[in-house]
Amino acid sequence: MLHSLLFRLPLACVVLLSLSVGSLLAAPPEGYRFLSLTEATQLASSENKPMLLYFGRYGCSTCRKMHAEVFNDASLNAKLNDAFVLAYVDTESGDRISLANGERITEMQFASRSRIIGTPTFIFFSPEQKPLFKKAGFQTVAQMNQYGDYILEKHYQSMPLQEFMAGQ
Amino acid sequence: MKLRLAGLWLLLIIFQSQASDQWVFDGRSAVTGAAMDRVYHHLDGSGRKHIAVTEQSVAAVWEDNRSQTPQIYVALKLFSSDSFTDALQVSNGGEAYEPSIDALSNNRFALAFEQDASVFARILSAGVLGEPTRLSQQAASHVSITSFNDQVFASWRERDNGRWFVKVAALRIEDSNRLIVESVQSVEAKGLETALLFPVIAVNAAGLCVAWEDRRAGHTRLLVSHSADMSKPFNTPQSLNEFFSDRNEYDKGNGVTRVSLASFGEDEILAAWMDKRRGGNGYGIFAALGADAGENFGPNEKAHGEEGDRQPHYNPATAGNRAGDFVIAWDDFRRSNSDIWISAYNSDLEWSQDHAPSVASGSGEQSHPSIALDDQGNLHLLWIERSQQDSPSRLWYSLGRPQKP
């Protein structure tokens, strides 16, 4: 049974405390305000905004494909940058994060504990920082926009994502 | 090169009966006390070298936060004793991480660790720690330590003026318990703007081998470099992993990470790592055997069996001994929760079916193995246990005795 640590731990309890030697070169898409998990968690909490957590990997081909063919979309860019707080975790990074239980682990260990098997994997959080759903692999512009609408229009309060997507 | 690899093959045939043995494990011994609220142990050093064995004792080194901040601890178990000593604090700074250990003569151990963005080494002798020696000059981390006939070597990554370097130091032992830096060199003199991660070092009669994660190609590759001795520069780095890049136009190669090295036999090196060439199944455990202290590596081999083929595997650790035995351990959650798994060559000179020692599997989460082989072929296993993934943890040890056919 695969289950995600993320769906058992509120993301609000994840705070990035330290980087061992500077920040490793992660690779979120250009033109987006992706932050470290620390900064994003704090910002999402303080501004009561939904958050998109992107698990990527340096050199990940599907991530690159999405950067070139999906994240280049102007409407998606505007939606995500304006309405969401964006966080990026490099699934092979040695950078350290700290959980609310006091434990410090690397981003890689966080990803493996969260049972993130492939990249990209996206986890969308409500403004209350509750993890709502996880999507792994290539997502189209339309899908990413619909995921955003599902949260921004608060459909998650009344129907599952699958039902919302079927009605689009 | 072919001649050397043929020699390696012959060596494996000679030692195959021993290498293919499975191990029967004794009961487990507690390295640390019962799990305590909000205390977490980590075995995440470069190459996962957290356990080492002398003729008289076994020592384990780890990081935990019992003092509210992450610090390094070591505990020792004499083979004449049933239990480990109380933990001895190795680090003394603000925060310390990712230690490494190797055995020396006269029941001593060499330790290395990161502390406040520098890397240090020190000796544990008769249960007493020698003075720490700082190895790095600039911000540094991911240190690994090894030795051969009491000549000690360490590798780490260091960032200088925005460029990343893999550094290697030769250390000599002075006054039986102090390490002195004899020389330091960069594996590549120029350094890189892209990150280098988790270098690990191994040494034997044929020289030094260093492997690391390298991002210069736009994706992560494992590179390896060899030097006959520290008076000579390291060879131009070679690719350790075979990579596959035909899935789409954006594909430069599959992911690889966390390489571990172990010397075995006279001059051979075992390398194992996590490798995403299987696509959607996550990381597999792949390996390569190198002759001449890693100057020449053979082809990549899948080390885990078919039973876990559709599951991701994590945290590979390697061990070898001068008798020619070698083995890989890792963890995966093919049975829902995480267990420790082991594979070694079988009599057909292929990686055996995966073996889950009963002491390190079953209920709870058993993960992050570190292993050492003594010259009798006994397998010393250290691992982390938690009731759940986010629960407080403790460390266990067990001795696996080779099962003769």
* Binary contact (A94, B142; C-beta < 8 A): yes
B14 or B72: which leads in pLDDT: B72
> Shortest Cα distance from A146 to chain B (angstroms)?
25
Size of interface A-B (CB pairs under 8 A): 97
Query: Do the beta carbons of residue B396 and residue B16 sit within 8 Å?
Result: no
State the Cα–Cα distance between residues A121 and B310, nearest whole angstrom: 18
* Binary contact (B44, A104; C-beta < 8 A): no
With an 8 Å Cβ cutoff, is A19 touching chain B? no
Q: What percent of chain B has pLDDT over 90?
A: 84
* Predicted pLDDT at B8: 53
Q: Average pLDDT, stretch A46-62?
A: 95
Give yes or no for residue B24 having a pLDDT over 70: yes
| Helix A74-83 with A141-152: angle, nearest 10 deg | 30
Where are the strands (E) in chain A, listed by range? 14-18, 34-35, 51-56, 85-90, 96-99, 104-106, 121-125, 131-136
* Binary contact (B250, A65; C-beta < 8 A): yes
Give yes or no for residue B16 having a pLDDT over 50: no
- Which pLDDT tens digit goes with each residue over B144-163? 999 999 999 999 999 999 99
B397 or B230: which leads in pLDDT: B397
* Binary contact (A113, B257; C-beta < 8 A): no
* Predicted pLDDT at A102: 78
Where are the strands (E) in B294-336, listed by range? 296-297, 301-302, 313-320, 326-335
State the Cα–Cα distance between residues B245 and A77, nearest whole angstrom: 29
* Predicted pLDDT at A101: 79
Q: Average pLDDT, stretch A74-100?
A: 93
B228: containing domain? 2-402
Structure tokens at A105: 């682990």
Give yes or no for residue B115 having a pLDDT over 70: yes
* Predicted pLDDT at B278: 84
A17-26, B24-33, B295-304: the lowest-pLDDT one:
A17-26
With an 8 Å Cβ cutoff, is A60 touching chain B? yes
With an 8 Å Cβ cutoff, is A4 touching chain B? no
Residues in chain B within 8 Å Cβ distance of A101: 38, 40, 390
Q: What is the number of structural domains in chain B?
A: 1
Give yes or no for residue A5 having a pLDDT over 60: no
Which residue in B255, B262, B252 sits closest to B241, CA to CA? B255
Give yes or no for residue A68 having a pLDDT over 70: yes
* Predicted pLDDT at B234: 97
> Shortest Cα distance from A130 to chain B (angstroms)?
18
* Predicted pLDDT at A18: 34
Structure tokens at B342: 């082991």
B346 or B38: which leads in pLDDT: B38
- Which pLDDT tens digit goes with each residue over B358-391? 999 999 999 999 999 999 999 999 999 999 988 9
With an 8 Å Cβ cutoff, is A24 touching chain B? yes
- Which pLDDT tens digit goes with each residue over B198-214? 999 999 999 999 999 99
CATH number at residue B245: 2.120.10.10
* Predicted pLDDT at B6: 55
Per-residue pLDDT band for A95 (boundaries 50, 70, 90) equals very high
Mean pLDDT value across chain A: 85
**What CATH number was assigned to the domain covering residues A32-166?**
3.40.30.10
Chain B, nearest residue to A115 by Cα:
B312
- Which pLDDT tens digit goes with each residue over B38-59? 999 999 999 999 999 999 999 9
* Binary contact (A25, B215; C-beta < 8 A): yes
* Predicted pLDDT at B17: 38
Query: Do the beta carbons of residue B61 and residue B398 sit within 8 Å?
Result: no
Structure tokens at B73: 């601890």
> Shortest Cα distance from A158 to chain B (angstroms)?
31
The domain segmentation of chain A, as residue ranges, is 32-166
Per-residue pLDDT band for B405 (boundaries 50, 70, 90) equals low
Structure tokens at B249: 């136009």
Per-residue pLDDT band for A4 (boundaries 50, 70, 90) equals very low
Q: Exposed, middle or buried: residue B207 (CB in 10 Å: 0-12, 13-18, 19+)?
A: buried
* Predicted pLDDT at A17: 36
* Binary contact (A99, B390; C-beta < 8 A): yes
Q: Average pLDDT, stretch A148-164?
A: 97
* Predicted pLDDT at A3: 36
Residues in chain A within 8 Å Cβ distance of B279: 118
Per-residue pLDDT band for B347 (boundaries 50, 70, 90) equals confident
* Binary contact (A65, B389; C-beta < 8 A): no
A7-11, B32-36, B91-95: the lowest-pLDDT one:
A7-11
* Binary contact (B140, A21; C-beta < 8 A): yes
Q: Which residues contact B183 (CB under 8 A, 6 or more apart)?
A: B169, B170, B230
Per-residue pLDDT band for B243 (boundaries 50, 70, 90) equals confident
Interface predicted TM-score of the whole assembly (ipTM), two decimals: 0.91
Q: Average pLDDT, stretch B252-281?
A: 93
* Predicted pLDDT at B4: 54
Mean pLDDT value across chain B: 93
* Predicted pLDDT at A79: 97
